[in-house]
Structure 1
Amino acid sequence: MFLTIQKKTLLSFSTLLLLSLMMVFIAQLYIVKILCMIAIGVLMSKKIRVSKFVLLNFILILVYGVLGTGLGIIYQNPNPFQFLGVFFFWPIFWLFFISYFSTSPNLLERYLKVLFISHTVIVLFDLFYAVAAFNGIKLPNPFYGTETGFSIYENSTRMTFINLNTLTFSTPILFILFFSQYKFGINKIYQVINVILTIILLILSGRRSVMLMCVSVFIMPLLFSSCFSKEVRRTTGKVVLVLLVIVFIGAYYVENAYPGFWEGYYQVFLKAFDSSEEPIKFAQAKMFINAIFEKPFLGHGFGAIFFEPLPGRMIYSSYFELSYHQKLATTGIVGFTLIMFVFLSTLWYSFYLSKRNKDVTLVAFAVGLLFMLVADATNPVLCSFDLMWPLYLCLAKINSYQIN
């Protein structure tokens, strides 16, 4: 009996620790993450239970991984195994996670607490780093792949921490849970503080995808309020309105104190549609369109090297910002259809089940996945081990309905 309890505790701890590390330390601490994965695999005593829908999507992910890798080998690309882990080996592990998550009802509330804490840690650290930069203090950058975490320009700022990709998923989840008054063991005052600090960080980040959430996260609760209780629906609009008033008052105060402050951030959005301001993405689009027409059906395979022409950086690489373009170029119409079916079918079925069962957590996960899919267009996020878990969380919730 004692060993059984210890086993369950260790399994739960390993799962929650893994998800927390994936949120906060993207592309870091892989040894610890792998140990957590091994522990989950070893401690999973029950037979893996997944529904036909989930199994189909996993098969399609594996086929996509084999297709891209196989083509890369055939065409002798420099790095044909570039995404084999993300789209072949890691999905096999996630089957264990989904089965465990689906059959452990108490794990969801614990995970939501971990998600809130991890999100808050990211927000507080990034804001602390920004405040230090505003005061001329240079702090060491603890995150891999980022030279300058926060830059200050004449009338705008720019944050390049990779952990902002995590907020793309966690922010809409926590906002929907807040507006729906869903109880998961976190005091409302802490949730309000988290909402305000998150909005400040998203604006200071200077990144379009996360800045856009400042507006859309207030709209999403209204769009999906049908999943809320009747009592909550009566007050949702008022709560949204009050928070918007607070935001506008704060914005008005900042504009008066620092004239022209918002103009700089407004220009950030306009640059997205100006080829002279964003030459790299326009150059990549042209490059990938040519590559797609060369091999439209099966593509060039994983690890293919493409040349980014003028007005871009004039470089050869296999990593680019335009994720969907690259998927089409590397795996063609066939591969692109496979992986997009996985993403969109999971998204649609999540919304369908959440509406049918009035499941606030599932609709929150689905909205988070939606934001990740939008961000993935110009910032590849759904192609790494640490950022694929939004997809698998939705599949885990779907699986819990279909096997129970």
Structure 2
Amino acid sequence: MDIIYVFYQHILVILSNPKDLFISVFTIAVLIEAPYTVFIFLGVLFAYFKQISSVTKREPYFPKVSCVITAYSEGADILFTLKTLEEQLYKGHIEVLILIDGADVNKETLDVAMKYKRNFRPNNRRSLKVIPKLHRGGHASSSNLGFNLSTGDIVIMLDGDTSVDNDMISNMVQQFADPNVVGCSGTLRVRNIKENLITRMQGVEYMLGIHMSRIGLASINSINNVSGAFGAFRKSFMKKTTRWRNGSAEDLDLTLRLQSYFKRHKHLKVVHSQDSIAHTDVPKTVWQLIKQRMRWDGDIYFIYIRRHLKKLLPKYLGWRTFFVTVFSGLFFHAVQPIIIVTSLVYSIFVFPIHVIIPVYILVYFYYLGINVFLFITFILLVSERKKQDLAMWYVLPFMPIYSIFLKFVATAAILSEFFIKTHRDSSMAPTWVNKKVK
């Protein structure tokens, strides 16, 4: 009882002193990334030893696969996707469906797709369909139409400018040899990583922040997002349960609804295939990056808070998925950025310069240490392109600054969504669709 009393008195002292409160909240918000990093490391380590200790044996499993490509204004960039799908080594049947949203105004994209189809040689294991949508309905609309028209047992969703390795389908399909797997995320790499420092930092972020996180979360069956740019689903399960809902961040929305089945059906899984690799271009300028992340981070707030807050409960998700969703999703993307940004701005006006500069330097080296640790882990245990990835080592000193910059962007995005509901202006769907989104 004495310990509880002392702790209670300590809390009262902190709450009565704004400076102490600031230091405590800021310290917790920053240091909480350390245990999460350890968790990701342990998940990656588990996946690595599981991989090297098991006998490499592929199931003779070759179901029909439908690749649904959602395109809008990509133009000639859709050739990245079409050509790499045509070069797949998969022995089973591959059906490719490319949906051109707003084909009446996207003549270039439609013309490129039709020209490719005319030169395409179908056979008993490869087929291609071009589906023009004359009036734009948005990304979710294209995904649903493509899914409904597909005839494969496994449906792989791809964006119109996403290229893939030639063994992508072979590796992805193997995950579905387990009948309990209903969804699978893949590895997204940055195709234009060598363009400039901005694309290089995003490339490292994709390696350490997205790819490794999914490996770690997959180890406890808690994948937080099956990307709309690259993900696969078992059609028989999806037909009976759910589809993509209109609006922004429809991939995150779908993943949360898939996870809602896990409490009642504990055998179901959403997995990650780290050797199923796709490549995408990322923003090349600071302004393009800000616009992209404003949409991403605002959408996260919209999905977690506006649309699914009442469903983020253990009785719907189960305790494990609930904890991971709240911690890795809601806290890290919607709460922590605001705490850190507010604390940094507050410190400038409250503390003298000789106090805050050492703190900022300490925070910088803290984040640098996390990035170096994850980078070494990635190179040793994850990377399938070690020489290429190792060449990005010199980007690491920039990553702490990049991370803090993104937290400022995330804070602006969350506040914008909170006050003016910016998801209604999403570029992922036309205005008439966004206005109907709830």
The TM-score with structure 2 as length reference comes to: 0.29
Q: Which has the higher strand share?
A: 2
**Which structure would you say has the larger Rg?**
2
Of structures 1 and 2, the one scoring higher in RCO (CA 8 A, sep 6+) is 1
Q: Which has the higher helix share?
A: 1
